Structure 1
Amino acid sequence: MSTASVAAPPNPWLLSAFWFGSAFHWLVLLLILMPANVVTFVGEAQKGTYLGALAALGAVIALILPPLVGAHSDRHGKRLPYLRLGVGVNLAGLAVMALAVTLLGGQGGFWVYVLGFLLVQFGNNYATAPYSALIPQLVPAAQRGRYSGVMAMLQAVGQLLGAVSALVIGLLHLPVWASFALVAAVLLLPALATLRGVPEPAAPAPLGDRGTEADAPSLSLRQLFAHQPFLWVFVTRVLFALGQYSVQPFLQYYNADVMGQRDPGQATSIMLACIIVGSIASALVGGRISDRVGRKPVIYAAGGMMAGAALLLLVAPGFVAALLLALLFGLGFGAFTSVDWALGSDAMPSRRSYARDMGVWHVAFVAPQMTSAPQGALLDWGNARGGNLGYTLVFGIAALFFLLGVILVRKVPEQAHAPAAQA
């Protein structure tokens, strides 16, 4: 029997500490620093084109790299060296981006900036693919809800701290290098906590020692998607992500056009803060409840709250009501995130390919981001016909995605938990 199967799981806060730093890193980088930096390189007229191209480049790396690195990690039986090297490359990329903004300018500086961003994307995805395997590999199924809840809460707190830091950066007019240094520090310190506080997992037991499905050889990608628990968890995660990205990119426009806010940017920041606070409140509770009553009941409730909030935003009588609905959405989102990770961990078919399979599952988070463009076109088409029809269509589609996710999660076989429970 493997050491991982008998040793006590590591401290949940140390195990998920890196998720906190990564969440802070991406919120400040993608939503605050990069939009402002791109303008300094290319000007106002082309900022959307260049920022969109950068985002597309990053999404391609996030789609392709995690399964490949995860498979490599599975073959070598190591997780933490990938985290160590990936964080190092990530930090180097942040330094190159800061250098490009501080010392260079124009098109030449922009391409150095792009190089830095590619290093950031490569390093972060190189680190997180094997890192994602630690919860399913080290934590028994009966405790995964609690551990996933801690992970979801730390991610939400990281995002909230990122939003607050963005306000401080703006108020204090910090130089660019100081902003990048802050991002680097908040990424590095939690990574060190995880590296020092989590032991390298033991290799899986030899085949035949336990005879469970979780000890079976790793499956090919075709076989992986033929594995019913994984297939349905993947599909439902795609649906929930589609719902999220049908609404999230357009909240600022909603606050301007539907809520009539004079400062839609500030209004959106407040709304996002409500969503994050709600998700922090529900993440730990949702994960713990799922360990007692099962994953599905929590997902049913969480998906219902998110679908209801998306629809009710269309008829909210004012901004205060919209904020309360944002809080409701956050409560559903936090509970869903914690339980969803546990459900995904339970559905992994083989202990011998955790990192690759979690990397494949990661695609379900990233690929739906590509739908923002057609949803934006639908929004404009509908609003051109008057009566905020575009928002009705886009928010209604989001609610439909959430409801489909709730319905289809019923297809995840209950026996998906059984192999992991013995791991």
Structure 2
Amino acid sequence: MTATQSPLAPPPVSPLVLSAFWFGTAFHWLVLLLIVMPANVVHFVGEAQKGTYLGALTAIGAVIALILPPLIGAQSDRTGKRIPYIRLGVGVNLAGLVVMGLAATFLNGMSGFWVYVLGFLLVQFGNNYATAPYSALIPQLVPVEQRGRYSGVMAMLQAGGQLLGAVAAFALSLLHLPTAVFFVLVALVLLIPAIITMQGVPETAAPTTQAAGPQLSIGQLFAYQPFLWVFLTRVLFSLGQYSVQPFLSYYNKDVLHQAKFEESTSIMLACIIVGSIASALIGGRISDRIGRKPVIYVAGATMAVAAIALLFVPNFVTALVLAVVFGLGFGAFTSVDWALGSDAMPSQTSYARDMGIWHVAFVGPQFVSAPQGRLLDWGNAQHPNFGYTLVFGIAALFFLLGVIFVRNVPEKIHAKS
């Protein structure tokens, strides 16, 4: 596909406005998945089965994340609308947060856990309902020559939202505030940036960056080599992320022996995010000049090495240094993630559907949390902390496979002076 718009022509929306919703979503998922949900699961089911139930809960939500985005994306393409879908999705997301907060505050045991699951399913439904049409905005509005820059800004705001989440979680845990406060904060930080994006994006903006082509069937889409390899690469990086991410709190408690593991997890997350902010914006700009793949080679190798090294750290301070290193790799990857996905779209007539399918490559691997959680519990039962060796080692393998697979992606962006 060739660009049809001058690289000097500015898109109809600024990268900060376009990325605002992703800032709120990043805060939302970091606080929920890494801080609130691990603690809530222990509250409902106890210590012995925490990994199994947390992994299962994450996998249950992934069912919706697999099915919904392509369906809603296709509907958004047919109607030519994006913002109404984002608006409805955010509303359902907020309703789910209310249900989760009420269950965690007033209920106990397995009966409370299943109410909590219901709320989480609403959260997943609403967030994915909004994300599929939202994902179409970069390929629809941004010229191919500027996608690295926009992807970098999106990665930077994603990291900023995560950093704010880690800092807020640390501060609130020190104050020993009720769980409900966390859910209120998550709802507000999701809603306000969403409003900024919905108000700032022109609903009638026409796609101008790719030659129009016929809408492909899903089978034809995966037969299109650029999309296939980008999809598989994102699956592998996401498998690595979700192999470790839900269990960081338990890692801090069991391996690093942190008594206040919620606070130490927040500090570790902050270090990861500071590293990712440092590499996010520059990675996107570099990719506009030299291509996406070299950035991903460095990112994947860095993340794999850091994941393995975390198993051998002698103390918490060393773990924090490795967290910064991991963050540098993660930020570099996310800085080109959206640009690489946008480059792989074969037709402007199905942006939302195809980006919804591409988004599945990110959220679908949440399923791995269930077997990885079970593997974690099994390994730890065989030998103290052996489960973490298995889980972190598998994560490193996924990152390395992602580096290998991305070599097959044909470059569409060439160096520019």
Structure 1 residue 358 corresponds to structure 2 residue 355 = yes
Q: Structure 2 stretches of 5 or more lacking a match?
A: none
- Distance of 2:103 and 2:307 partners within structure 1: 40
Distance 1:170 1:363, change over 3 A: same
Report the Cα distance in structure 2 between the residues aligned to 1:299 and 1:188, rounded to whole angstroms.
32
Contact 1:204–1:215 (8 Å) recurs in 2: no
SS for the counterpart of 1:200 is: coil
Computing the radius of gyration from Cα coordinates, the structure with the larger value is: 1
Partner of 1:375: 372
SS for the counterpart of 1:411 is coil
2:145 aligns to what? 142
**How far has the Cα of 1:361 moved from its partner?**
1.0
C-alpha contact (below 8 Å) 2:376/2:388 kept by paired residues: yes
Of residues 166-175 and 293-302 in structure 1, the stretch that sits farther from structure 2 once superposed is 166-175
- Verify the 8 A CA contact 2:52 2:373 in the aligned structure 1: no
Paired residue for 2:93? 90
Structure-2 residue corresponding to 1:75: 78
Measured in 1, the distance between the counterparts of 2:404 and 2:14 equals 34
Within 2, Cα distance between the matches of 1:400 and 1:52? 20
From 231, 236, 243, the counterpart of 1:234 = 231
| CA shift for structure 1 position 151 | 0.8
The residue type equivalent to 1:282 in the other structure is: S
Structure 2 residue corresponding to 1:183, chosen from 172, 182, 186 = 186
1:110-189 equivalences under 5 Å are: 112-189=115-192
Check whether the contact 1:35–1:51 (CA below 8 A) recurs between aligned residues. yes
Percentage identity across aligned positions? Answer: 76
* Structure 1 counterpart of 2:326: 329
The CA distance in 2 between the partners of 1:48 and 1:389, in whole Å, is 14
Q: Provide the rounded CA distance (Å) in 2 between the counterparts of 1:312 and 1:29.
A: 26
Instruction: Tell me which amino acid in the other structure corresponds to 1:232.
Output: W
Residue of structure 2 aligned with 1:218, choices 215, 233, 250: 215
Map Cα deviations across residues 369-403 of structure 1 (whole Å, 9 max, x no partner): 22234334555666666696654444333323222
Segments of structure 1 that go 5 or more residues without pairing to the other structure are none
Q: 2:242 maps to what in 1?
A: 245
Q: Displacement, 1:59?
A: 1.3
In the other structure, the counterpart of 2:287 is 290
Structure 1 CA distance for aligned equivalents of residues 106 and 250 of structure 2:
35
Counterpart contact for 1:148–1:339, Cα < 8 Å? yes
Q: Helix, strand or coil for the counterpart of 1:123?
A: helix
Query: How is 1:297-312 mapped onto 2 (pairs within 5 angstroms)?
Result: 297-312=294-309
Aligned to 2:195: 192
Q: Report the Cα offset of residue 343 of structure 1.
A: 0.6
- Compute the displacement of 1:286 (Å): 0.7
SS at match of 1:348: coil
- Distance of 1:316 and 1:105 partners within structure 2: 36
Report the secondary structure of 1:414's partner residue: coil
1:8 — aligned with what?
10
C-alpha displacement of 1:340: 1.7
Deviation at 1:99, TM superposition (A): 4.5
Deviation at 1:294, TM superposition (A): 1.0
**1:344-388 C-alpha deviation (Å, 9 max, x unpaired):** 110111111111111111111122222234334555666666696
Moved more, 35-44 or 313-322: 35-44
Change (3 A) 1:58 1:387: closer
Q: What amino acid maps onto 2:267 in structure 1?
A: I
Distance in 2 between the 1:199 and 1:22 partners?
Answer: 20
Q: Indicate if the aligned counterparts of 1:79 and 1:201 stay in contact, CA closer than 8 A.
A: no
Cα distance in 2, alignment partners of residues 186 and 103 from structure 1: 24
RMSD between superposed Cα atoms in Å: 3.1
